[in-house]
Structure 1
């Protein structure tokens, strides 16, 4: 059998459900990896669910747990980890219809018997992908993952004995059912609580206290190819995602050596821009990179190469300090504004030019726009000429994808009154929106918000800090969830709309 049904579903359904998503990406992917084999097991045991869900315009998780609604919330708490359960539930809801679509395509029919036959043919792959706690859950739903038959089938009832049986078992049956369900649920949560070490890819990350920051170390050889790589993290699902990225970026079959241990943090600071940074490192000869905590250290054989690389990376890792051998200067060190503007704008133009017009994502556009520096003159909302060509490029792309919605955020330094600064930041953000609209962008795709000096990224006591605080930022608006995400590459910060 050449086709692995689970791998096919992971590829097709995840791509469909998660396209354009950025928040909790690894957790959502892990939840889908756990849910899909469970869903197939339910289809195998109860084919009538296939027909019922096919008849629903938007099949939901509640349609599956209709047998035992009280278990749905327990299941969501188990599968969601630290992510709000309503977010994971929405992701799983959106995955049901695409999963049915793939199964129908592979079975060559929408008939439930054809789909269950397909699942049975691929049962070894399905059963091996089930999380360790799934059998208890399926049993609680009255299903047997081994045989595919429902459990606890009642024997035929003799109508003449019904009154007598009711008298004898009227109190016992509810008590037995309660005890069985309580025992099964206790097993589910105990099995999760007992896992204090690293979790396999098919399970749920253990929630134990971590004391050391996650760490990524790698080096390149004389041709810029990957030579050594080591990854330390407490998040098994993210390790899998990053490993795949590293193998693809460097065309390297092995990728990184891995230590998955609960003592390491489960997330890197600014971790969603790691792939972009690694693409910058690729091809740089004899370079080494260490990503740990809030510091990113870069070394190269020639100091000039390290400085050039650091200048490209700093606009992306806004919550980190980039260190180089030349005095190990930090990202907050004194920089020449003209040089910073020229470098940022050049990077933005290049990033926009590299976007495939036939495969445009909101994240890519926001990433490129956030690389530029829009340096307004004092007390002015006039867009500098240096930025207009960048906005022209962005407008041409945005017009091709009406689903892209951007929020333009204006910020000022702390010089002057708070109210005046807020009004000025609003005017500057609106000026960007107005310019994009003049280039043909639908006004409904854009909104301007001014924050004044309320959200500084540097010390306002220095000219360098004031320069960094006078900025424009672009965010991707998820219109379905009402969540705004500040994006550098794959999404870093999320917050509810004010």
Structure 2
């Protein structure tokens, strides 16, 4: 049974009516494949299993993909691939989702829909585009179908699971007769083997097979990192920085809800990385509200909540000691520790090892988002006020250069970040230079410069506090993301800006004027617009050097 062909025959006419075009039909074919893969996830299906879904339930699509960034990504990618505008794509997918769901439910019959779709993965797998890996169940495409396909028949009517046909009595007895014959042969073989002088018992091969099964059974759990929340408070009970690593949307939303419950709308500052490299549960989840309340009450406090461990820091030793004790009392099942002094050498070495390990997992033709995540794990510890690549990072960048060259559609953005020491203008310029240094090195290794874009964020996008050595160290970083031209300013250029997208694999920007260190020269590079660029206004930067 070809699921895509079936849905194209039954659902597409109802969605498009008389407005059928090759572009819209092709778009729906891809959407059916992505939609089927999403429903193959038991957690997704469980949100509405047993509910009555109406054929015109246009909100059903939003319940399948609760993450708005995923819905936006689907609309954007499908629109670009099929030469349609995003608004039209959103209408088509919203109309198709409930109809496709009802049809798939009919096809599944008494089989649970997720199991049915996993059993028949091979019938729609080839229609799933590479970019959809971020919006479908983790690991689905890497897994073999769990069962046997139900049928290869294609029909315009919903297909049912075929029942065993009733036949003659002899036909029903054939399997039993076969088993009797096999049993007799096995008995004869056993007796023959026992008559020989053998050291190994005849059952030894079966034991060997069982041992192999036991070794192959476990899922590679060591490849999954614990889900994590890194959070820092600011002055006046504010949220300073927040970053979430989660294995699925559900966990991300649960963590974000806990942050929002304590910090309100400031939770919008949280950035999230949702990826199957992270666990889908967090042992500290139930204790998050209590932990976050304690962090909020202490200015410049920070916590890294990862697995069953909470690592806490504060610039004041006495405050830190009390904070550790308070969090331990609020979450007795967790291990609460104070963050130790910054060990620069080990931090750098561990980060490079982590990046190497992540790159080992990439395999052939990797997803650019996975490449970006792997590269972002390494710490590129530039010397003070310098933008030269340290030798320890060059092997990782050399590996990255080969991967970027081999994957045709890989376009990455390199983003430089600093701590808050120094002026805003200085930090932006330094972060831009460091990002450019990384690009220059990759280009020297053979990467096409058009595949790389750079951006300097300065101190504007912290992931940790800036009140401790450890926090400032984490904020001084180079990040890689997948470059999306549609997210850039209208002229296609990349200026300074503030990252506002929760999805770390995409970057939205809010354009800001370049800093002008001298408002009297012929360029416009100050913190405020000046007379060098009349289109930007005529207000001079009062802190500029005259």
The alignment's TM-score, normalised by the length of structure 1, stands at: 0.44
| Structure showing greater Rg | 2
TM-score of the superposed pair, with normalisation by structure 2: 0.41
